[in-house]
Structure 1
Amino acid sequence: MAYVVLENCIRCKYTDCVEVCPVDCFYEGPNFLVIHPDECIDCALCEPECPAEAILHEDEVPADQQEFIALNAELAEVWPNITERKKPLEEAEEWDGVPGKREHLER
């Protein structure tokens, strides 16, 4: 089991979670982060650090967000690893909490 980055990260991409990850299991796309499920050690340090509340344990992912479990695994294989905190996207505050952001995911 692993932690999963969910829809609310799209167009926000806060990286507070990256800074606390002891195993560097975050991967970065243009406007979204993902967690590599084979590298995550379930330490739970990232979840409370996310300002957008976009990280949950795989067992707690709501039914309407289940696709993000596979999406994290898929994109972690192709996106570059991120190990240091960066500034969030400029529009992060505007997009935080906006529903239906899946269509805005940039691969």
Structure 2
Amino acid sequence: MQIYTAATHKERDFTSFFWGDIDLGGFNIFTHIRERVIPNLKVFNMDESTFLKYRNYAEPIDSAYRPKLSRMVGDPRYEVFQSVLEVMLKDGLRLEQEAQLL
């Protein structure tokens, strides 16, 4: 919050990005920060094309995880993730951000 406040005070066009796991936790952390701290927060490398590019490093989701992920589909709070959510559910996979460093 302090970094965002300082940056936006001096630079009106300051843009903040969030890069996290392409999974429940990553989506929830992004949404939490955007709703409570940085309203114009943008995602970085958490989209469908990134997921597909690193798909070979993805991990399977289990039967308990799937319903939680499914609840995000159609939820306006997760609008930015809709296309990657559909692919994740279709493929039954999730991706840790560290996989993108391989």
Does TM, normalized by the shorter one, top 0.5? no
| Structure with more relative contact order (C-alpha pairs < 8 Å, separation 6 or more) | 1
TM category, shorter: under 0.3
Q: Which has the larger radius of gyration?
A: 2
Higher helix share: 2
Per the normalisation by structure 1, the TM-score is 0.26
